[in-house]
Amino acid sequence: MALSKAELVEHIYKMVEAASGKRQLKASDLWKAVLKEHSELDKKDVQTAIKELIDGGRCVYTYFGGSYVELPRVEAAAKKG
């Protein structure tokens, strides 16, 4: 089943949402997972879709030793106490 551009964006968003709080996904985890199911796509398509999620503020890049794509949240270090 071919994914449209918009569907790919939503597909990736759902992956990030499902992993939230359990596992931090890297951009490479996302493209590897997508390309496994959708061989018609290439890495660039996934990167462009991630860029759309990031530029729109629906996802953010985080850095905790490595860089991840996550849902926006208040970070632990910014909390008092």
Partner 1 sequence: MSKTPLLDQLESGPWPSFVTDLKRMAAKKPQVKDLLAQLERSYQEKITHWKHGGIVGVLGYGSGIIGRYSDLAETFPGVEHFHTMRINQPSGWFYTTKALRGLCDIWDKHGSGLLNMHGATGDIIFLGTRTENLEPCFAELTANGWDLGGSGSTFRSPSCCLGPARCEWACYDTMEACYVLTQEMQFDMHRPSYPYKYKLKFSGCPNDCVAAVARADLSIIGVWKDDIRIDQAAVKAYAGGELKPRGGATPYAKLDIKADVTDLCPTHCMSYDGKKLAIDNRNCNHCMHCINLMPQALRPGTETGATLLLGSHAPILEGAQLSWVIQPFIVMESPYDEFKELNVRITEWWAEHGKNRERIGELILRLGMREFLEAAELPPAPQQVRIPRANPFFFWQQSDFDAEAKGRKYYTREGFDVE
Partner 2 sequence: MSERKTDIGPPHYEQFLPPIIKENYGKWKYHEIPEPGVLKHVSETGAELYSVRAGAARLISTDFVREVCEVADKFCDGYLRFTSRNNIEFLLTDKGKIAGLKAELKKAGIPIGGTGHSVTSIIHTQGWVHCHTPAIDASGPVKAVMDDLFEYFGTHKLPAQVRIALACCINMCGAVHCSDIAMCGVHRTAPKIMHDRLRHLCEIPTTIASCPTGAIRPHPDKSLKSVSVNEPKCMYCGNCYTMCPALPCFDAEKGGIAILVGGKVSNAKSAPAFSRLAIPYIPNNPPRWPEVVAAIRNILIKYAEGANKWERLGEWINRIGWEKFFEVCDIPFTFQHIDDYKFQAYDTYRTSMHFKF
Among partner 2, partner 1, none, the one that 7 touches (CB under a kind-dependent 5 to 8 A) is: none
Span of 1-9, 10-18, 57-65 interacting with partner 1 by CB under 8 A: 57-65
Span of 9-17, 18-26, 34-42 interacting with partner 2 by CB under 8 A: 18-26
| 64, burial (CB in 10 Å: exposed 0-12, middle 13-18, buried 19+) | exposed
Binding-residue pattern over the window 23 to 52 for partner 1, x denoting contact by CB under 8 A: ---xxx--x---------------x--xx-
Q: How far is the C-alpha of 67 from the C-alpha of 69, rounded, in Å?
A: 7
